[in-house]
Structures are given as C-alpha cells and as structure tokens.
Structure 1
Amino acid sequence: MILSPLNEDATDEQVLRRIVGSAPDRELLDFAAGAGGDHRMLVEFTLGLLEEDLLEIHGGTARLVERRIPLRVLALVKHRLDDLSASCRHFLQVAAALGMSFMLEDVSRMLHRSSASLLSPLDEAIISGIVVADELWLSFPNEFLLQGIIESIPAPARVALQREAAEHLTGNFTAYANPFSATERPVPVSGHPGALSAGAGKSIEDVCSPAHSLIMDGRAKAGIRAAERILTDPESSSAARLDAEASVILGHTLLGVVEDEGHAQRILRQRGVEQGDLVTLMASTAVSDALWRAGQLGESLRLGRTAVRYSGDADPVWRMHVQLALAGKLTDLREFEQAEALIDDAEAGLHGLPTRIWNAAPAVVRARLFLQAGRFGDARREAESAIAATGPHAVPVLRPLAHSVLSTVALYIGDLPTAAEHLHRAQSELAADRTALPSAQYAWTELRIAVKRDGPRAAVDLFAGKYRDLPTQRSLYIEDPVAAPFLVRLALDVGDTGLRRSVLETVDALAADNPGISVVGLGALHANAVANGDAAGLSHIIARSPDPIAVALATEELAKIYRCKAPARRRGIASLPSEPAPVGAEEVTAPQLNPACWAGLSDMERRIAYLVSVGMTNRLIGREVHLSAHTVNYHLRKIYRKLGINTRVELASGAATYSSRAAIYSTETEGNPGSGRAGGAAG
C-alpha cells in the first residue's frame, strides 16, 4: 500500500481512517494510542492489523478481531534495536523490565554497574529517540516500543528479569506499572508519570489492617484471631471494629466455613447493603460467592453487582475484593469486557494508595480471564507476573490459582512437563499451612494432566478416591463449561455409565435453574450432544459457542460421528455441497496438514474453517461471524493459501484433525478411532 505523506498534526483517528478506509471504534483507538503519537509506528501498526486479519469492517466501522500487537510493529522495533550497539541494547532490555518509566540508578543496580558506566549506552538510547529524559526520570516514548524491546528478550530471561525488577521496585515502593504489560501506563502522581505517590515509604499497616494482611498472606486463621482480638477490645475504634468484622467474614469465606454464610445472610437481613459499609459489602460478596458455587447464578450476580455499586466509598483494599469477585463471575459467563473493566478499576484503586500493595491480585484474575478468552500468551504473562511478585506486592492466597492457570496454558499448548510442574507447585502451596482461594480448578487441572499423561483410565482412580464428588460439583461446570462434554467423552471411552449419568444430571439441572445463562445452557447442550452423538447439537456449539476449546472439541466429535456413518467406498469427492453434508466421509483420503500451518491461522480464519467443517455455505457463515459472503470467500482463499489446499473437503478434514489437539487426550489412534490414547494438545 502506497500512502501520500501524512500531515504531522494528523490524529490517530485520521491516520487509521485513511489507511483502513473506515472509522475506528473506541477500542481500536485506545489500542492505537500505544503508538504514542509516532506516525511511523502507527502506520506499521495499522498495516500489520490489516495483514494479519486483526480487523473487521462492519457497518462502516473498523473493529479489532484480536487485541495483539502486529509483527510489523515488533519488526520495526527490532530494526531500530539492530542499529544500536550491543551495550545499548542490553541497557534497554534491562530498563524495559522496569516499566515505561525508570531511574538510572535502578538499571545500574540490576546490572551491578555504576551509573557513570551507563552514561554511554544511555546517551546512545536518548539520541536514537528510544528513551526520553525528564529531570530524574527516564522513560520510553510509547508502549509499542516498550513491548517490542520486551519481545526481544529471550523468553527464559524474561521471567528472571521480571522477578529481579519486582524485587527492586518493591524495595523502593515506586509507582511502576506491571513491567511486562505493554497496555498499562504508569499511574500519574504529582504531575509526573513516574513520581512517587504521596506518602510513599509508609508501611503496609498504613493502608490495611494486620488482620487483613494476614488473610491475604494465606494465614486466614491467624488473621481471624487478630480480628477477633480487635472486636473484644472495648477500646477499639468503630473503624477498626468494622475492618475486623469484614476481615472475619473474608477469612471464613476463604476457609470455606459454612456457618459464615448464615452469619453473612443475617447481617444482610438486619442491615441491608449500605454505601461504603465494609461489613455489609463483604457479607454480600460472601453470600454471592456461596450462591455462585451452588449454581444460583442470577441471585449471585444481583448481590455481586449490588456490592460493587455500593463500594464506591470503601477503602480500595476492600473495594478490590468486591470488584474482583464479580469480575471472576463475569469471566465465567464470558462477559470479558465488563470483567476487565472491573479488574482495571480495582488495580487503579490499589495504585492510588500511599503504599503499593497486592499488585498480584488483579494480575491473577486477569490471567484467568485471558485463559478463558483463549489469549494464552497474555494469560501466561499475567500469571507469571503474579507468581514473581514479592513483598507487599505478593498475594499468596491467590498463588495456587495462578499456578493452575499456567498449568492449563501448558496443557493447551502441549507442554506436559511444564503443566505437571505448575500443578506440583499449586499442590505444594495448597498442602502448606496456608489458605488458598477455593476453586474447582485445582482438582480439574490434576484430572486433565492425569488423563493426558496416563490415559482416560487414570481418571477412574481419581474419581474413586479424593475426587469422587467432582462430577457433581456445580462450580466445576460454571468455571469451565468444557468440563461437562470432556467428562462425558471420558465416560464413554471407559464405559462408565455412572459417571456419564452424574455429569448429565448435574449440568442439566444447572441449566434448568439458570435458563437465562447462555454459557451454562451451551455447556449442557454440548455434553448431551456428545453423549447422544447428536450432530445437530454439535453443529450448534461450533456456530454459537464463545469458547474456542468448546468449538474445537465439538468439531472433533462431529468428525467422528460422520466418519463412523460414512461408507468406506466414498472417496475423492472434490468439494462439499452447498448444504450441510457429512464431513468425515471424505477424510479418509484427505491429505495430512501440518499443525503448525493451522496454528498460523487467525481466530477468524479458524472459526470459518470450523463452520466449513459442518457444511455451512459462505452466506450462512457470514451471518454467524458478521461478515458478507464475499468477505468470507476472501478469507477462505487466504486459508487455502496458508494451508496449501484447494477444496472445502480438505479444509473440513484439516479442521477436524487440528481440533483433536484441543481434546487434552486424543480419542483416536492410527486406524483405531475411540481407543482413548493419551496425547494431543490444543492449538
């Protein structure tokens, strides 16, 4: 694309509109702001979005398909780094670990060199425009540049740098953003983005009580005892007593004390929810959490939203619990935008405190959101950041959940050793004398690893032992709707009719109790479709499910159904008919496609491939993905080129083969479908 010179005063919106030919929506403009006004960076960013099919045009508006910095931007940054000396590149990589703004003395401390010895690489960085200086602070001019530098660091070194940077920053209590989040800006304080917060250097006790701090450290029983001492002390102030009562509710909730639910309900009956009242806010959250686990989702959401609405005047350290609790529930429902807004608000509240604490809490909840959204790289970065947090930034009560996220990500990308390692770390945290956030994910992660490593029979032993109640645990199917079809497939493979019946009865009752919750309904439909070999039900999941893993699993199941039905003599058909037709019938002679090629498809291209696999026409596909039939055909041609194929039959077969990698354990062996061998991974 050839562009005439851009006006230096052109806004981001004008540049985007000129290249894309449509008006950018708010999210696209917000993402483009990461170029920091650098027109060349913005042009490369926009062209990269077009090249990688990260934009869709609908109704004259350009929208993001996936929020990911294009390779063109990273290549531009790499080109700029290649023009620098090795010492300057090294300086910039270490500085990038500290965030958008940093001090020279922090870099010198991490490099174990004097500040004087760094003047030469610093001068080179400033002359090149990669670093700008402002009195005592140095900073990168835009977020894309920062992310490009971070991406230039070898992956194994990133975590080590992140951990070391967190240790330095914890010691200084400086208001840096998460060093490995390119979309997050340092919080402006006192007129400078890197300045210390007012009152910096204060102790944690200045922003949270000892009881609250003990609970967040995973020592809930000790925290409750500390709070009870406050409550029995007649000299305690009313504010201290409110904090102590809220701490008791929080501690009991984390410990899973059933009696506390009744206590919280009594508080709500007697006092209702009051603006800024810590006790009623935490009581509402505790009851909301209990209702969620029991599968009463509508009432749980009502209480959770009420608590958030009345939390505006509460201290940020307490408001965070209310916001993150609701964010987790919205994540389960795939309401990602609302959930992320709550996480951002909670994080902003923590950043505004005199002393920065508990940065890991929003990071863990955001990591789980990214995992559910299929953004595995982002999920891994957030979870690693949370685990690496030390001192006041760490939240040990959430660390097992962060390890569970990392274990699941490793499973989905086929790295079983890493998945097992993070499972072991999560179990070590849970076995220690510390409290952890209750979650079905710990058992679910162990079960999937056992099945992948040892085959579906390994689950039988776990269900006969410590996880005998897992199949009837409603919270499992709420937290992960894919669990139901997965367990039904496992039950079919091992011939366990009891397991099949337990799963279906549980998810059917859950869906019946929550008729307005589409994710729950789709999970029940998916499980029943697997149990009954229902091709229409599986096709509906492929077309409508917001979960990429559910779509992949349904595609694999549908391919198996058609393969079993297809006569062996059917071969060599060149194309699918315009109406839905059996997919697996032609697969016997379809070429084997390289999984790496499939991994190179965009999310939109993979979704179109899956819809092709159920025999949809371009017009029907267009309705599902909100594109014209012509645009769908354009995407299909690109898919064919990327995969080196020519027909819809080959594409449908490839989609079925590729999707089987998402099943955690493959249900096929060569020439013997349905044997249930361990292997495979999600793409």
Structure 2
Amino acid sequence: MPRPPGEDADERVLQYILGAALDHELIDFAAGAGGNPQLLAELALGLAEEGLVREVSGGRGVNGTLKLVSRRTPRRVLEFVVCRLNDLSASCQQFLKVAAALGKSFRLEDVAGLLDRSSGTLLSPLDEAMASGFVVAAEHQLAFQSDFVLEAIIESIPAPARDALRREAMSLSRRRTPAYGQRPWLAERPSGSSGIVKDEAGGACSRAHSLIMNGDAAAGVRAAERVLASPGISLAARLDAEASLVLGYHLLGRAEAEIASERILRERGAGPGDIAAAMALTARSNVLWRTGRLSEGLKLGRNAVRLSEHAHPVWCLHSQLALAGKLVSLREFDAAETLIDDAEAALRGLPVPVWTAACAAVRARLFLQSGRIGDARREAALAIAAEERDAVPMLGPLAYSVLSTASFYMEDLPAAIEYLQRAHTAAASQVVLDSVQYAWAEMLIAVKKEGPSEAAQLLSGKYSHLPTQRSLYIEVPSAAAFLVLLARDVGDSDLEYSVLRTVDGLAEDNPDFPIIGLTAMHANALANSASAALALIIVQSPDPISVALATEELAKLYAAKAPAGARPVASAHSEEGTSRLATRWSALSDMEHRIAYLVSVGLTNRQIAKQVHLSAHTVNYHLRKVYKKLDINTRVELANAAAMYSSRAAVYSMDEEKWGSGRADGRAG
C-alpha cells in the first residue's frame, strides 16, 4: 500500500490492517501504543473485532475514512500486555506494578520508597523492564513505554492492592516536589493559579475547564465562550468548551446550565464519547436528585457514566464522582467506592496525574457517611494537602466540612469549629460544590456549643430553608430525627411539622429507596414515642448516626416506662456492674443484637422472625444464647439490660477502632 504524504509509521500499520484511511481522533488514540508495532497491530485487530471503529463514506467516489466509535482500549491489547508481563520475573512484575501506581512517568527513588528498599536493589528489575520494552528512560526520570501498557498493568493488580498502592503513592506525592522532568509542564500555568492549564484548543485540561476546577467558574465560563466564538475550532475544542459551559453554569447555579444541557441533548442526543452530552446529563441528574426525584436522577447519572466511559479521564471524573455521591446517600458504599477508585486510577494513569484530590474529597464523604471516621479524616486531609497538579480548590470546602463533622463526632469541638471556619473562608472566595454538608456541620456545632435555642435561631434565620430542603434528608439520613428532637427541645411544633411533612413526602415519592423510608420512619417514631419503630431503626438502618440517635431515645423511653425504684439486674447499677453488662452486650453477634432489641420492645418470637427473616424456632435458639451470654433468664430482664446498655450509648461514641483517633493532618495547632 503506497504511503500518502505525511503519513507516519503508526498510520501505515493501522491503515494496512484496517484497510482504510484514519481520522484524526483515531490516529490520536493510536498514539497510546507509543509507536510499538506489535501493540499497534493488536490495537487494529482489537478495534475491528470489538466494533470500535466504523467507516464513514467520503461521497462521490472518495474513499471512506475510519472513525473511532468509542475511545476504549480493546481487551485484545490489554491481554497481550498482561501475557508479556507474565513472562517477566516476579521481581520485575512487582517493580512494574508498584511503579504503575505513580503514573506514566516516575522516579526510581519513588518506587524504592514504596517498596521500602534502596534504589540500588532495583537496578536488576529495572534493567529487565527496560530490556523487555515496558519502561523507557527519559532525561531525569523513567516512563512506561505506552498508555496501553500502563493501563494493562494497573488492571492486572487486584483491586484491594491497587487501593493500598494508591494511598501510599498519594502520601508520597505530598512529601516531595514534582520531578524535574515535570516542571516544564507546571510552568504552563498562569501565575497565581494552581490549576492545570494547557491550550484552549480542546486539550485534555483546557483553560476553561481548569479555571472552573480552581474555583473560578465565572472566568471558566468566559474562557469557554471565547473558544466557542472562535472560527474554525476543532470538534474536540467545541465539545470541551460546551462541557465547560454546562459545568460552570451548573456550579454557579444559573439557569443557563439547564438551557445549554437541553439544547445539547435535543440537537444531537447522547452519543458515546460526547463529553458535552455527558456533562449535560450529569447536571440534569444532579438537579433532579436534589429536588427528590431520585429514580430519574439516578438513571440520568448512570447514563452519564456510560456515555463518558471512554472519554478523557478529566471529563469522566465528573459523571463518576457525581454518581458515587448519589450512591453514598443510598448507602451503596461498595458501588460508590468502585466508581471513585476507577476515576482516580484513570487520572493517575495519565502521563502526568491530575486532580486526584477530587477523588480523595468524595471518598472522605463516603467514609464519613459509613461511620469510618478515622478513614474520613485521613482522606479529607489528603484532599486539602494536595498541591500543584493534584489540587482541586473547588472541593476544598467539602473536605474541610468532612473534617469538621468528623471532629464533632470525635467530640473535639475546637477542631470542628476551626475546620468549619476554614470551609467558610475557602467558600467565600470561589465557587464550591453545592452540598448541605456546610450548613449541617454548622447546625451540629451550634447545638453542641450554644444549645438547642441557638440552632433554632439559625433555622429561623440563616438556614430557614433547611427543614424543607429535600436534599438534606437525602444526604444526611439522621437529619430528620435530629431536627424532630430539636423541635421537641425548643417547643417548636411548626419546625416538627415542616420536617415530618417534607420527609414523608420524600418517602412517598421514592418508595423504591429503603433508606428514605427508614428516615421518615425514624422521624415519626420520635414524634410519636414509638419504641417498636425505634427498635426497627436500630435493627435495619445502615446509617450509624441514625442507629445511635434511635438507641439513645429508646433508652429514654425505657427509663420513662420503668416502675418507680426499679433497677436492672442486681448489682448491674453499679459502675462495675454496668461495665460488665456492656462487655457482655458487646459479645452478642449482630443477629443476637437485633433479636434482643426487638424482644425489648415486646415483639413475640413469631413477629421477630418476620423482621429478621428466620423461623420462630431459630429466633428462640438465638434468644437462649442471648440469655446465656448476658446471664439472665427472662424477657423482662433482657428489656432492662437493653435499656441500661442503650442509656450508655452516647450519640457519637462508637467503637474506637472504627472511629479512629488522633488529629487529621493539616489541622492548625
């Protein structure tokens, strides 16, 4: 096949195998092979086998051109790389997998640091990696031979190991300055900005996109508008500018976001790889979600992730993290963490990793909601401490709010106040991700510091919209119960009515989401002093704060109903006896805890069996084990034991190992 003028070797290999001319995007995608002829051949065969390219007719006798349907690496390419990887020695494989956690380019001393070895001991596996073509040497650092090689190596690492390596690599990046070879790239940024700025012609990190991520959404919108007004811009530049417009308008809370999104989706639909359409779906998904239309919001969010699946990681990031945030609110933590991990792996797989702090900030919120307070503090601190290319100022206030709430749960009120002040300071100078977390952290602190009346004043003034804001009860399942208790403390029946009406309406509109139903049940149980419903919250709720609130209230109900002068099991009222009871209670299994609480509110074995999906006979078997462990003999004694243990369960005091200890990094002394 004759070589057209200007066609390079990569194009010749692909064109020979595929039998047609290639469009610019396909040529750009093939550059990920790093010029390796074998990888190019596997790429061409894989693209054809998996239908990832299609021929577009040139018309009037002109030969057609092959266009990329989806920017996805064919399985054939990844399997080819892994097969070659398996032929290497174990020490070389370990070297390559650890190096992959550092991104496409890396320094030998950084790999040595992660392996806790000297650089000299890695010379042999490095030689093997270079001889086999996996790694090449640049002037001041090393790099993987191609993007496809890096992607395959990362995929070959088991997910738990990838997560561990990611954390260690992030910690390492915080302790050092960028490698010499990365400094020219950093110099492309304008002075005074910590964002990633490349060209405005549709580069991976355009100026408009970078300005928005830095918190200056208004400037980002203006930059995107200038690009769209420029004559003769490329398709990639147009899509990037349109996506940036939607993102910027959405963060600014302007109606133009919905107008632009509707226009994009109406004019060309939602095709694979269209980052503007994916951003439009994400923005609409977020709006629907905040107004309580959860099924619609979730559906659009999932569609946005699928649409952007093979787009550039800096744009996939938005749909992935937005969907992860929704799944966190639904307590689907595993699915949410997978999305966050995928987003971060893709960012770290870039030639120069970028914006990794975004993933840390969202992961911090996930850990906070799941009760992993120590992990939440660590991730939030990583997000805040990120510098240069890793930083995302727009998400800084969210990370500070996580640290504030986590500190509050750890009963460190001074730290909670300090972090909340930092969140407000950061939010005052830039656009931030819309979240009720900032207001809610302030509410919690106000109750703790000044008392219920101070919080009530906030709700009648600055945060008067909060009780009827559906997104509050979606993001914070315990908020409805908390506000009902607050309304009771200050004698505000209007506040209680507003909360119950809002959360009941939310539950009625979203019957397919159990966590919403439990939120409404909890609030109503508190309003009506329904001990059986509170026991169900303790048994069924996946939210640790809701469980703690229900436990404390149930203990109060027990105490109120107890006969005058009645005491739990003899000697248990002493500090020593109470401590002994707590030890015995903690020895119960999860199922035994559930059965004990349900017994304590008067349910029969048959009624309990329906709640825990066991036979009545099996419930009785578990109940006998509970009696034996607690050294009691009757259901009355069990109710008293549950009351005593529950009365000691402070709202925010949980297992020390689970909640973590010590101060998060980044806190001022």
**TM-score bracket for the superposition, by shorter chain length:** 0.5 to 0.7
Partner residue of 1:155? none
Q: How big is each residue's C-alpha offset from its partner over 1:468-500, in whole Å with a ceiling of 9 and x where there is no partner? A: 111111110110111001000000001011111
Q: Post-superposition shift, 1:145?
A: 11
Q: Post-superposition shift, 1:517?
A: 1.5
Partner residue of 1:450? 446
Q: Post-superposition shift, 1:308?
A: 1.4
Partner residue of 1:544? 540
Unmatched tracts of structure 1, length 5 or more: 1-94, 111-120, 151-157, 175-201, 576-585, 642-646, 665-683
Partner residue of 1:372? 369
Partner residue of 2:514? 518
What is the alpha-carbon distance in structure 1 between the residues aligned to residue 604 and residue 350 of structure 2? 55
Q: Post-superposition shift, 1:295?
A: 0.8
- 1:303 maps to 2:285: no
Q: How big is each residue's C-alpha offset from its partner over 1:538-580, in whole Å with a ceiling of 9 and x where there is no partner? A: 12212211112111211211222232222214335579xxxxx
Partner residue of 1:43? none
Aligned partner of 1:656 among 629, 635, 646: 646
Aligned partner of 2:383 among 383, 386, 406: 386
What is the alpha-carbon distance in structure 1 between the residues aligned to residue 453 and residue 230 of structure 2? 57
Q: Secondary structure at the match of 2:508?
A: helix
What is the alpha-carbon distance in structure 2 between the residues aligned to residue 105 and residue 532 of structure 1? 63
1:396-415 alignment runs, 5 A limit: 396-415=393-412
Q: Post-superposition shift, 1:269?
A: 3.3
Partner residue of 1:571? 567
Amino acid at match of 1:377: G
Q: How big is each residue's C-alpha offset from its partner over 1:419-472, in whole Å with a ceiling of 9 and x where there is no partner? A: 1121111111111x2111000110010010110111111112212221111111
What is the alpha-carbon distance in structure 1 between the residues aligned to residue 551 and residue 646 of structure 2? 6
Partner residue of 1:135? 126
1:44-83 alignment runs, 5 A limit: none
Question: Which stretch of structure 1 is more off in the superposition, 217-226 or 555-564?
Answer: 555-564
| 405 and 619 in structure 1: CA distance in 2 versus 1, 3 angstrom threshold | farther
What is the alpha-carbon distance in structure 1 between the residues aligned to residue 593 and residue 419 of structure 2? 29
Unmatched tracts of structure 2, length 5 or more: 1-97, 130-141, 143-156, 183-195, 632-636, 655-669
| 498 and 543 in structure 1: CA distance in 2 versus 1, 3 angstrom threshold | same
Q: Post-superposition shift, 1:221?
A: 0.8
Amino acid at match of 2:125: D
Q: How big is each residue's C-alpha offset from its partner over 1:111-160, in whole Å with a ceiling of 9 and x where there is no partner? A: xxxxxxxxxx957998xxxx99733899xx9999999999xxxxxxx99x
Retained in 1: the 8 A contact 2:112–2:118? Answer: no
What is the alpha-carbon distance in structure 1 between the residues aligned to residue 386 and residue 290 of structure 2? 29
1:247-646 alignment runs, 5 A limit: 247-431=244-428, 433-572=429-568, 591-593=577-579, 604=590, 614=601
What is the alpha-carbon distance in structure 1 between the residues aligned to residue 172 and residue 264 of structure 2? 45
What is the alpha-carbon distance in structure 2 between the residues aligned to residue 554 and residue 539 of structure 1? 7
Q: Secondary structure at the match of 1:276?
A: coil
Retained in 2: the 8 A contact 1:361–1:398? Answer: yes
Q: Post-superposition shift, 1:348?
A: 2.1
Q: Secondary structure at the match of 2:444?
A: helix
Q: Percent identity?
A: 51
Amino acid at match of 2:482: F
What is the alpha-carbon distance in structure 2 between the residues aligned to residue 439 and residue 598 of structure 1? 41
Matched length: 504
Q: Secondary structure at the match of 1:305?
A: helix
| 329 and 639 in structure 1: CA distance in 2 versus 1, 3 angstrom threshold | farther
Amino acid at match of 2:359: P
What is the alpha-carbon distance in structure 1 between the residues aligned to residue 303 and residue 406 of structure 2? 33
Amino acid at match of 2:126: E
Q: How big is each residue's C-alpha offset from its partner over 1:388-431, in whole Å with a ceiling of 9 and x where there is no partner? A: 11111011111111111111111222221221121111111111
| 318 and 515 in structure 1: CA distance in 2 versus 1, 3 angstrom threshold | same
Retained in 1: the 8 A contact 2:356–2:390? Answer: yes
1:140-155 alignment runs, 5 A limit: none
- Provide TM-score, normalisation by structure 1: 0.64
Amino acid at match of 1:517: F
Retained in 2: the 8 A contact 1:217–1:396? Answer: yes
Q: Post-superposition shift, 1:312?
A: 2.1
Amino acid at match of 1:434: Q
Q: Secondary structure at the match of 2:518?
A: helix
Q: Post-superposition shift, 1:265?
A: 2.7
Retained in 2: the 8 A contact 1:274–1:310? Answer: yes
Retained in 1: the 8 A contact 2:484–2:527? Answer: yes
Partner residue of 1:85? none
Cα RMSD, aligned residues only: 4.4
Q: Post-superposition shift, 1:326?
A: 0.8
| 145 and 216 in structure 1: CA distance in 2 versus 1, 3 angstrom threshold | closer
What is the alpha-carbon distance in structure 1 between the residues aligned to residue 252 and residue 434 of structure 2? 8
What is the alpha-carbon distance in structure 2 between the residues aligned to residue 377 and residue 658 of structure 1? 22
Q: Which has the larger radius of gyration?
A: 2
Retained in 1: the 8 A contact 2:511–2:517? Answer: yes
| 507 and 133 in structure 1: CA distance in 2 versus 1, 3 angstrom threshold | farther
What is the alpha-carbon distance in structure 2 between the residues aligned to residue 625 and residue 366 of structure 1? 31
1:189-204 alignment runs, 5 A limit: none
Q: Secondary structure at the match of 1:661?
A: coil
Retained in 2: the 8 A contact 1:170–1:393? Answer: no
What is the alpha-carbon distance in structure 2 between the residues aligned to residue 467 and residue 488 of structure 1? 16
- 1:215 maps to 2:212: yes
Amino acid at match of 2:174: A
Amino acid at match of 2:443: L
| 597 and 415 in structure 1: CA distance in 2 versus 1, 3 angstrom threshold | farther
What is the alpha-carbon distance in structure 1 between the residues aligned to residue 236 and residue 162 of structure 2? 43
